[in-house]
Structure 1
Amino acid sequence: MKILCISDQIDPLIYSNTIKDRFSDMDLVLSAGDLPLDYLEFIVTTLNKPLLFVFGNHNLKELPFYRHSFEDRFRFYSPQEERDALTSGAIHVGSKIHREGNLIVMGLGGSLRYNNGPNQFTNRQMNFEILKLVPRLLFNKLVYGRFLDILLTHAPPLGIHDKEDPCHRGFKAFLWFMRLFKPRFLIHGHIHLYDLQDVRTTKYHETQVINAYSHYIIDTGAAS
């Protein structure tokens, strides 16, 4: 299965009338956050492939329709706003587990808390997001012989591809998750790459950690 991974930057190679020529052989698209939904809708509509996504810490206008906070219960949204938010064709997998073909994908969106903005979590809160999904992971292990194939996140793990500033520091929770549940890939965004020499892929135990900034293609080697 060939997977187009995207995050953080609207890539002119994708957002163009040549997208089919370049990416028609993709089986799946994974978005690691900080991209507008209309960009995701363009990809879904043009490639006609399933697209799974998580929200990051930017481009959060539609977040209340997918992850309801306490404050969202008291806000009014027009029917048109709701339709626009929910009809992109992309599938939100934030704090969820989704099976696409033979591939098991788990999503954990958001960044480490740095200014109390929306979709930011402390490490303890991210631990809780993971623990909520443990029963489904155990079910997967029993039925499919593995917990998951891909962990799709916005933020990176602590100490892998992250930065020292509070905004771009990674989650420690992802480290124990990889050691315990052994996803084949962890695909993240959040860390912009401006130098071709910047590290994009790192092996951590049995998991290949990949920065999906702009776009990156992986081949799982498994049939879709």
Structure 2
Amino acid sequence: MKILCVSDQIDPLVYSTKAKERFSDIDAILCAGDLPSEYIDFIVSTLNKPTYFIFGNHNLSEFGLYHKIKHRGGAHPTLNGMSSYDLSGSHGADYIGFKSARDKRLMIKTKGGKMRPLLIAGASGSMRYNGALNQYTDFQMMMKLISLIPAMLTNKILYGKALDIFLTHASPRHVHDREDPCHKGFECFNWFIRTFAPTFLVHGHIHLYDMNEQRVTKIETKNGTTTVVNAYSYTLIELTGD
């Protein structure tokens, strides 16, 4: 299963009239945050493949339509007077922030030869650095990850695996992250990797100004191997059977 991963930057090779031919062999698309909704629209309408997205710490004009926002007095400026409602399939893409899904459109062959759905979960946002929207302390993010535990355990019982792909905006702490307050990764993501061993953790947020910088790191745990991939601009990953 070949997957196109994008984040943080509109890439001219993706935002192109030749995108359909260039990416004709992909099976799915992951959008790891900080992308305009119009760009996601274009990708979905052009490539017409199952697409999942999360929010980063920028381009949050529609964040309030997916999450309740605490604010002081009046409507939050991101809402433009609109009420919250279910937009889980808007832009032709599925929002996976702080959620999990079993996608039967994308089937994986197990070692026993049976087919099972792709198992995916996501976490929006970055480390808290100025108190703005969709920023979290490590403790706050940990609380959100705890809400995913029942689904992970159910997946393990039903399919023998907790998760195939964990889609995040920020990276795990000390894996591809930076030392400035904005770009530090979440330590709780490392706990999540150690506990549930997703095959891939795909993140954004860390810009690659030199495209030779490391964007792929393998993490070995007692529960398995997780490949951490920085989706900045765009990259491709391949998910094989169990």
Task: Please give the TM-score of this superposition, normalised by the length of structure 1.
Answer: 0.93
- Partner amino acid, structure 2, of 1:27: D
Q: Deviations over 1:37-80 (max 9, x none)?
A: 11001111111111101100000000000112133995264569
1:133 corresponds to which of 142, 145, 148:
148
Q: Which residue pairs with 1:96 in the alignment?
A: 99
Paired with 2:73 and 2:216, the residues of 1 have a C-alpha distance of: 40
Paired with 1:67 and 1:24, the residues of 2 have a C-alpha distance of: 34
The Cα shift of 1:4 comes to 0.2
The Cα shift of 1:221 comes to 1.8
Q: Which residue pairs with 1:18 in the alignment?
A: 18
- Partner amino acid, structure 2, of 1:190: H
Q: Is the 8 A contact 1:183 1:207 kept in 2?
A: yes
- Partner amino acid, structure 2, of 1:24: S
Paired with 2:42 and 2:4, the residues of 1 have a C-alpha distance of: 14
1:209 corresponds to which of 220, 225, 228:
228
- Partner amino acid, structure 2, of 1:156: S
Q: Which residue pairs with 1:173 in the alignment?
A: 188
1:143 and 2:158 are equivalent in the alignment: yes
Q: 1:60 to 1:72 in 2, by over 3 A?
A: farther
Paired with 2:24 and 2:72, the residues of 1 have a C-alpha distance of: 38
Paired with 2:130 and 2:232, the residues of 1 have a C-alpha distance of: 23
Paired with 2:84 and 2:138, the residues of 1 have a C-alpha distance of: 32
Gaps of 5+ in 2: 107-116
Q: Is the 8 A contact 1:55 1:63 kept in 2?
A: yes
Paired with 1:183 and 1:158, the residues of 2 have a C-alpha distance of: 16
Task: Please give the TM-score of this superposition, normalised by the length of structure 2.
Answer: 0.87
Q: Is the 8 A contact 1:65 1:85 kept in 2?
A: no
Q: Is the 8 A contact 1:56 1:190 kept in 2?
A: yes
Paired with 1:169 and 1:132, the residues of 2 have a C-alpha distance of: 23
Q: Deviations over 1:76-96 (max 9, x none)?
A: 645699899973111100000
Gaps of 5+ in 1: none
Paired with 1:63 and 1:204, the residues of 2 have a C-alpha distance of: 31
Q: Which residue pairs with 1:60 in the alignment?
A: 60
Q: 1:141 to 1:86 in 2, by over 3 A?
A: closer
Q: Is the 8 A contact 1:65 1:86 kept in 2?
A: no
Q: Deviations over 1:120-151 (max 9, x none)?
A: 00000011001011011111111111111011
Cα RMSD, aligned residues only: 2.3
Q: Percent identity?
A: 50
The Cα shift of 1:222 comes to 3.5
The Cα shift of 1:197 comes to 2.4
SS at match of 1:166: coil
Q: Which residue pairs with 1:37 in the alignment?
A: 37
Q: 1:117 to 1:219 in 2, by over 3 A?
A: same
Higher relative contact order (CA closer than 8 Å, sequence separation 6+):
1
- Mean Cα deviation higher: 158-167 or 98-107: 98-107
